[in-house]
Chains A and B, each alone.
Chain A
């Protein structure tokens, strides 16, 4: 059996890598949904939200088909990266939804004003959009991180439950319960609860400071 520390550190690593994958993609999707009149918007929203509605085990199985020995990305399954990938996909809908709210709160006229003042799209993003939406963005990142930390169903299918390699906190708890080692299981449960409460408190603080206050929406001069 892995030590508590190994499991917790691996969990944090898996969830962090999951965020490295999910946050940029989540931001890009949210930005598209909020700022661009894209065709097939409904389809994008549906696909992004699908992991919320599906049993995680289905996501895991889908990934296993893609990453397993017969899949196009053979050899990725049963690695820590596969665990990160599974966590990222499950966390993505929550991230996108929170980011959409955060970006929607930024008055598009401020972005237009910045462009007219000589800032290119990238600079507008870095100096206006992100600074104005950062509380909501941070809240989205935290929610995503918590979701990634608690991921079980998809992970166990595509990454297995390999001590020291893919055994994260939820999987460790599962193994210890099955082994009948209640006190060891409860130690990890305590860690889980501690991490969750800490993140939720920070999340709540961020939102309460009014980062998501609604602003009047107008594109360009006039309507």
Chain B
């Protein structure tokens, strides 16, 4: 599960090019995406929401086309407009939007019951297991935590075997601890079920950790699209993102719990990282959050440092963003490191070069990941 490595990518799963005008706002969107996760990024008012509503069939475009898995959902001229209940596109709203008058099981089964037998490709039991919902099935949505609600909403959308999943900031209403859990569930869905997802987010860190593709909207137009690490770090867009401190969200497993004055250890990729006491037993999956600004890059193995972590890897990319530069360093997983141009010049850094990541134990935050499931 390498966050930076694209998942199963096949262009042509979701293809669209259309315009939609509403009052004095006009959206002109085009994209061609594969079966992985596509992040939709942009400031508020940029048209993300309008784009989602058009894909879901809640809004009708003025012209153009929307094609999903070879099926026309909308086509100008031929009068094709598939209504939302016939599109098989799952929606996940920010706070879940669960049916409050049904228990979790009935919420999850709502779409499954309305799915013709021949279209039921997703095994509901499997989804329930994947998202860890078994103990919640009889509960009412009112009694669930934010993260639980979000998982139920995702399961409800998956149970109808959607051809596409649209997620509108599914983590915005969650605290940091729960973000890790939902993040790792979404990664699992991508790997396990192969359902393409379009994902609205305001967080570069999330997008870098999850998405295979990214589409950046601004003022109703697509200003960039492509691989997240390229798109989001595109110098032309630098201004749009700079106030977001970029965090690496890396999958790991506790190898030593630590505690009682002893640090913990977490295995991330090929590295064994010294962390604060983990508070979790060995072999627990975790997400390790590490700010891109918190890491020092060295070209030779340093010694005599107070920082506990010195990890060898190799530089795969160097991307300038505004007056900053981001180096992607492969240590078994891809880690983003923020640098200044001066540092890059002084060290004579270039792609392909071996490098060491240096960071303090205290810069690491550990987030809960989804419990390891029988996948």
**Do residues A110 and B110 form an inter-chain contact, with CB atoms below 8 A?**
no
Closest 5 CB pairs of A and B: A222-B49, A117-B111, A118-B114, A116-B91, A115-B84
**Do residues B168 and A116 form an inter-chain contact, with CB atoms below 8 A?**
no
Closest beta carbon of chain B to A216's beta carbon, Å: 9
Instruction: Answer whether A220 and B85 are a contact pair too, CB < 8 Å, given A118-B114, A128-B99, A132-B101.
Output: no
Instruction: Answer whether A115 and B85 are a contact pair too, CB < 8 Å, given A220-B49, A222-B168.
Output: yes
A-B contact pairs, 21 of them (CB 8 A): A107-B97, A109-B97, A110-B97, A112-B84, A112-B97, A113-B93, A114-B99, A115-B84, A116-B56, A116-B84, A116-B89, A116-B111, A116-B157, A118-B111, A118-B160, A221-B53, A221-B91, A221-B93, A221-B168, A222-B52, A222-B53
Q: Which residue of A is nearest B167, CB measured?
A: A221
Per the 8 Å Cβ criterion, residues 90-138 of A in contact with B are: 107, 109-110, 112-120, 123, 127-128, 131-132
**Do residues B85 and A120 form an inter-chain contact, with CB atoms below 8 A?**
yes
**Do residues B101 and A117 form an inter-chain contact, with CB atoms below 8 A?**
no
**Do residues A117 and B156 form an inter-chain contact, with CB atoms below 8 A?**
yes
**Do residues B49 and A113 form an inter-chain contact, with CB atoms below 8 A?**
no
Q: Chain B interface (Cβ within 8 Å of chain A)?
A: 48-49, 52-53, 56-59, 83-91, 93, 97, 99-101, 110-111, 114-115, 156-157, 160, 166, 168, 200
Instruction: Answer whether A112 and B58 are a contact pair too, CB < 8 Å, given A118-B111, A222-B168.
Output: yes
A1 interface residue per 8 A CB criterion: no
When chains A and B are docked, how far (Å) is the Cα of A127 from the Cα of B49?
Answer: 27
Instruction: Answer whether A117 and B168 are a contact pair too, CB < 8 Å, given A107-B97, A221-B52.
Output: no
When chains A and B are docked, how far (Å) is the Cα of A221 from the Cα of B54?
Answer: 10
Instruction: Answer whether A118 and B89 are a contact pair too, CB < 8 Å, given A112-B84, A113-B97, A220-B53.
Output: no
Give the chain A neighbours of B57 by CB distance below 8 A: 116
B49, B85, B93: the one contacting A118 at CB < 8 Å is B85
When chains A and B are docked, how far (Å) is the Cα of A203 from the Cα of B83?
Answer: 38
Give the chain A neighbours of B91 by CB distance below 8 A: 112-113, 116, 221
**Do residues A109 and B93 form an inter-chain contact, with CB atoms below 8 A?**
yes
Closest beta carbon of chain A to B166's beta carbon, Å: 8
When chains A and B are docked, how far (Å) is the Cα of A115 from the Cα of B57?
Answer: 10
When chains A and B are docked, how far (Å) is the Cα of A222 from the Cα of B86?
Answer: 22
Give the chain A neighbours of B100 by CB distance below 8 A: 110, 132
**Do residues B99 and A118 form an inter-chain contact, with CB atoms below 8 A?**
no
Chain A interface size, under 10 / 10 to 19 / 20 to 34 / 35 or more: 20 to 34
Highest count of chain B CB atoms <10 Å: which of A114, A118, A127, A223: A118
Closest beta carbon of chain B to A16's beta carbon, Å: 28
Closest beta carbon of chain B to A219's beta carbon, Å: 8
**Do residues A220 and B157 form an inter-chain contact, with CB atoms below 8 A?**
no
10 new A-B pairs (CB below 8 Å) besides A110-B97, A119-B114, A132-B101? A112-B84, A112-B91, A113-B99, A115-B83, A116-B87, A117-B110, A119-B110, A220-B52, A221-B166, A223-B49
Give the chain B neighbours of A107 by CB distance below 8 A: 97
Highest count of chain B CB atoms <10 Å: which of A112, A113, A116: A116
Give the chain A neighbours of B99 by CB distance below 8 A: 110, 113-114, 128, 132
Give the chain B neighbours of A115 by CB distance below 8 A: 83-85
Q: Which residue of B is nearest A124, CB measured?
A: B85
Give the chain A neighbours of B49 by CB distance below 8 A: 220-223
Closest beta carbon of chain B to A191's beta carbon, Å: 37
Give the chain A neighbours of B83 by CB distance below 8 A: 115
Give the chain A neighbours of B157 by CB distance below 8 A: 116-117
**What 0/1 readout, one digit per residue, does chain A (127-159) give for beta carbons within 8 Å of chain B?**
110011000000000000000000000000000
When chains A and B are docked, how far (Å) is the Cα of A75 from the Cα of B93?
Answer: 56
Closest beta carbon of chain B to A103's beta carbon, Å: 15
When chains A and B are docked, how far (Å) is the Cα of A119 from the Cα of B52?
Answer: 19
Instruction: Answer whether A117 and B114 are a contact pair too, CB < 8 Å, given A221-B53, A221-B91.
Output: yes
When chains A and B are docked, how far (Å) is the Cα of A221 from the Cα of B47?
Answer: 11
When chains A and B are docked, how far (Å) is the Cα of A119 from the Cα of B99?
Answer: 13
Instruction: Answer whether A131 and B97 are a contact pair too, CB < 8 Å, given A112-B58, A113-B91.
Output: no
When chains A and B are docked, how far (Å) is the Cα of A131 from the Cα of B107?
Answer: 14
**Do residues A118 and B53 form an inter-chain contact, with CB atoms below 8 A?**
no
